[in-house]
Chains A and B, each alone.
Chain A
Amino acid sequence: MASTKEIKRRIKSTKSTKKITKAMELVAASKMKKAISQTLASRLYSTYSWDILTSLSERLENITHKFFTENTNTNKHLIVLITSNRGLCGGYNSQIIKKAIAMIKEESKSAEPISIDIVTVGKKGDGAMRRTGQNIVASFLEMPENVSLQDVIPISNYFADEFKKENYNRIYIAYTDFVSALSQKPVIRKLLPISKVELKEVVELNIKEKAPDSRASMDGARHDFAKSETPYLLEGETEKLLDTLAEKLVRMQIYQMFLESSASEQSSRMVAMKNANEAAEEMINDLTLVFNKARQSNITKEISEISAGMASVS
């Protein structure tokens, strides 16, 4: 049996680890709340911008804008992988990395091999992709924890430029969808070209899933409006308007995905830390029991030694 001193030391170190994990859990919980409220706040904007896009596209018979059509000149794909900068967040990073690698493998197996370039966001994903020897064209490693729209601008402009230059056929984005505090889903979604159907799905999914009641009234109003097909007066050139709108939409989408990812990261960190906390608690209990037993046996030993000594004296 280990000495009581040894056990005491272990209890002490477990306790201090528990303090750290507890603090991390609390921090993650508050950060998660913030990220979720940010996601909710951004939803109104995306709904309205979708609204405008719909009314605009009604006027144009076929959209020939670059963002809406696939480039036929190239068959290169670009995958954007959003991961965290820090570890200790359960399976958050490994899940999305696994999913991205699976997709890359699948694409390379197909009849016409497609070359895939990678853009990484976050140190964890960057490291993993470098280890597996993928072609990384850009890494954004300095993302702050609470993303603002401004932080997303350089990234979204980079994609828009690359896509406009016809360097890529499609741009995918791999992020972690925040379903609830306990479950997050790694998802790979097509970012460009914008397909109207898919974009609509994204926007509607957001509305339905995450804010069932608050948006209901607004939804009704929108439907009526769509039916009436109001002819819009467009200030300026339609093409130009569409161009800016498309760019904003892409930016918005990326922004939302960042928010989703950061909410997922924080919540999976929270859960991981909660588990660590519970494990530490259990360990402390076990160790305390062992310590008490050791103490008890020490005392027994001492008493028997004393009484043996007394017996020999008398």
Chain B
Amino acid sequence: MSTKQLQLKIVTPEKLILEELVDQVTVPTTEGEITILPDHIPLIASLASGDIVAFKDGEHIPMEVVGGFVETKKENDMTSVIILADFAEHVANISEAEIAKAKAKAEELRKQAENNEIVDFEHFESELERSLNRIKIADKWRTRKYRK
């Protein structure tokens, strides 16, 4: 494995979620999943919801993410990947109890969707997307090994 690494930063409007040197990172863009390695050319893409998987020392670092952007650039011979996400969270933070809660929430939201009198549609839509995404990502990583 090459010694070159890239600087990964995951930022949401609420806080800086992750800042770390990693070997590679896979992000879900709206055009499909891409993997960024060190010395990647500068790139801007918008994100789809899914999981960002960073790879470091042979271990996966999975993060759940909903919407946003990814920017890759080079600074002083160091490739940095900046991810601006609407929501992001380490998979380990999604505990079993939280999954159950998210599931209940998704179900509740779906029921509400049938009720046409929802005024707060936009809010509701993003909530639903987030809940569903959490469930999906948590399920995906349940049996796999990753670094906390």
B25 at the interface (CB under 8 A from A): no
Contacts of B74 in A (CB 8 A): 230
- Interface segment among B38-46, B51-59, B90-98, B101-109: the answer is B38-46
Query: Which of B41, B82, B120, B122 is A233 in contact with, Cβ under 8 Å?
Result: B41
Q: Would A225 and B73 count as touching, CB distance under 8 A? A: yes
Question: A49-B69, A221-B75, A235-B29 are known contacts. Are A153 and B42 too (CB-CB below 8 A)?
Answer: no
A106 CB-CB contact with B under 8 Å: no
Bound complex: CA of A283 vs CA of B74, how far in Å?
65
The docked-state distance in angstroms from the alpha carbon of A42 to that of B17 is: 12
A residues near B127, Cβ cutoff 8 Å? 150
| B31 part of interface (Cβ distance < 8 Å) | yes
- The reply to whether A236 and B31 contact each other, CB–CB distance below 8 Å, is yes
Among residues of B, the one whose C-beta sits closest to the C-beta of A161 is: B122
Q: Annotate B65-99 by CB proximity to A: 1 below 8 A, 0 otherwise.
A: 00011010111000000101010000000000000
Bound together, the chains give a CA A110 to CA B25 distance in angstroms of 56
Interface residue B112 (Cβ < 8 Å from any Cβ of A): no
Task: Contacts A44-B11, A45-B84, A150-B126 given; indicate if A230 touches B30 (C-beta within 8 A).
Answer: no
Partner of B46, one of A41, A157, A158, A244: A244
Structural contact, B44 and A52, CB atoms closer than 8 A: yes
Question: Bound state CA distance, A55 and B44, in angstroms?
Answer: 9
B12 within 8 A of A: yes
| A235/B75 contact (C-beta < 8 A), A52-B69, A150-B123, A154-B123 known | no
- Determine the chain A residues whose CB is within 8 A of the CB of B15 once the complex forms: 41
Chain A residues touching B, range = 35 or more
- Interface residue from A55, A149, A154, A157 paired with B86 (Cβ < 8 Å): A149
B113 within 8 A of A: no
B16–A41 touching, CB < 8 Å? yes
* A153 and B122 contact, CB distance less than 8 A: yes
Query: Does the CB pair A45–B120 fall under 8 Å?
Result: no
Judged by a CB distance under 8 angstroms, whether A240 is at the interface is yes
Interfacial chain A residues near B14, Cβ < 8 Å: 38, 41-42, 148-149
Q: How far is the CB of B106 from chain A (nearest CB, A)?
A: 15
- CB of A154 within 8 A of CB of B13, answer no
Q: List 15 A-B contacts (CB under 8 A).
A: A41-B15, A45-B11, A51-B82, A52-B84, A149-B12, A153-B123, A157-B122, A225-B73, A225-B75, A230-B73, A230-B74, A235-B44, A241-B44, A241-B69, A255-B13
* Chain B interfacial positions (CB closer than 8 Å to A): 11-16, 29-31, 34, 41-46, 68-69, 71, 73-75, 82, 84, 86, 120-123, 126-127
Told that A158-B122, A233-B41 touch, could you supply 12 new A-B pairs with CB distance under 8 A?
A: A44-B16, A46-B13, A49-B69, A55-B71, A154-B120, A154-B122, A225-B75, A233-B43, A235-B34, A236-B29, A241-B45, A248-B84
The 9 A-B residue pairs with the shortest CB-CB distance in the complex, in nearest-first order? A235-B45, A157-B122, A41-B15, A230-B42, A154-B122, A233-B43, A45-B13, A154-B123, A232-B42
